[in-house]
Every structure is written in structure tokens, then in C-alpha cells.
């Protein structure tokens, strides 16, 4: 189930601006980390990386206000693949402003400004800026949250609500 995210929060007439992404490292590193969603791609600080389904192969669709909430993972040089990350799937693509964004298996990579600590996955399964956002696994595919159990939330045998023949 997708969640929708409000773009800007206004408090007492002031606009809350999300935290910026870290400065572009010379050789940005992509690693794997265990999270509540399984093993996902992260940067060297352990911050989760996301894909945006509105992107086209290696071409970002996230600029302006979108990039303020979902900062692209930028680098000044060739990216480095950590253990378990497939180096052959990791490359860069030039953004409209000329900066280099990391791309994994054709997906430009982003941070979520709502993830304050390493290992957080608060941006998972959000519909925002015209597309859905997901964490990325080592195979380069989105990782979706596990579906809710079918048949409601009752797990006690013998209790079905008392309806029926």
C-alpha cells in the first residue's frame, strides 16, 4: 500500500526545509546494510538509498523541490562498490546541472530527507512527486514491503466474528 507524503510543512509562517544530502564525495561508495526490509543499498554512512519509479533508465526525473526532499546521491568521480554490491551495475549519469549521480542497475539513486539515521527506511513505498519510491536491493530491484496477512488481523483460531450459517 502506497503512502502519500506532503511536500512542504508550514509552521507559524515558516517553511521547514529538509536536511541536505552530504557533500559529493570524490569516489562515492555503495554498500549493503540489513534493515527492517532486508539487505538494502546504502552509502558509506549507512544511509538508505532509494529508486524513483518515475525515472527512466539512468535519467533522473527528480529536480527542484523533489531533489530537496529526495536528494540525489552525487559523486565527483567513479563510484566504488562495497562487499555484496555488483560493481558491474554501478555507474554514474550526468544530471541537467552537470553533476554526476550514482546509478545502480539503471536506477538513479537518492536519499530520503526523512531518514535521519543510518538504517532508517522511512521513504519506502511512498508516492511523491509523480511516482513511487522504494529501497534498492543488491540485485538492483526495488524491495517492496511484505503484504499484510489476508483475512483480517485476527489470528486466534475459532473466532470468525459469529457471522455465517
Residue 113 lies in a domain: yes
- Band (pLDDT 50/70/90 cuts) for residue 27 is confident
Q: Is residue 11 part of a domain?
A: no
Record the cell numbers describing residue 153, joined without a space: 488481523
* Average pLDDT estimate for 38-49: 97
Q: Within a domain: residue 78?
A: yes
Determine, yes or no, domain membership for 149.
no
- Give me the phi and psi of 41, to 5 degrees please: -70, 140
What are the backbone dihedrals phi and psi of residue 48, each rounded to the nearest 5 degrees, phi first?
A: -60, 145
- Do the domain assignments include residue 43? yes
**Of residues 9 and 136, which shows the higher confidence score?**
136
All residues at 6 or more sequence positions from 155 whose CB lies less than 8 Å from its CB, including other chains: 149
Say yes or no to pLDDT of 84 above 80: yes
Q: Quick one: pLDDT band at residue 107, thresholds 50, 70, 90?
A: very high
Domain containing 66 equals: 19-141
Structural domains counted in the chain:
1
In a domain, residue 1? The reply is no
Q: Is residue 2 part of a domain?
A: no
Q: pLDDT, tens digit, for every residue of 128-148? A: 999 999 999 999 999 998 777
Task: Specify if 26 maps to a domain.
Answer: yes
Amino acid at each position: 500500500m502506497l503512502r502519500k507524503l506532503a511536500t512542504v510543512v508550514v509552521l507559524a509562517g515558516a517553511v521547514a526545509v529538509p536536511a541536505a544530502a552530504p557533500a559529493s564525495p570524490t569516489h562515492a561508495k555503495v554498500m549493503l546494510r540489513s534493515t527492517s526490509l532486508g539487505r538494502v543499498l546504502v552509502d558509506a554512512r549507512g544511509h538508505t538509498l532509494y529508486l524513483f519509479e518515475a525515472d527512466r533508465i539512468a535519467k533522473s526525473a527528480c529536480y527542484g523541490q523533489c531533489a530537496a526532499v529526495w536528494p540525489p546521491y552525487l559523486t565527483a568521480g567513479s563510484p566504488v562498490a562495497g562487499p555484496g554490491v555488483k560493481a558491474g551495475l554501478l555507474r554514474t549519469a550526468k544530471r541537467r546541472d552537470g553533476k554526476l549521480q550514482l546509478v545502480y542497475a539503471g536506477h538513479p539513486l537518492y536519499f530520503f530527507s526523512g531518514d535521519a539515521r543510518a538504517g532508517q527506511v522511512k521513504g519506502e513505498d511512498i508516492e511523491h512527486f509523480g511516482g513511487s519510491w522504494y529501497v534498492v536491493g543488491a540485485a538492483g530491484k526495488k524491495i517492496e514491503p511484505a503484504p499484510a496477512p489476508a483475512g483480517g488481523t485476527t489470528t486466534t483460531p475459532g473466532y470468525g466474528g459469529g457471522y455465517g450459517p
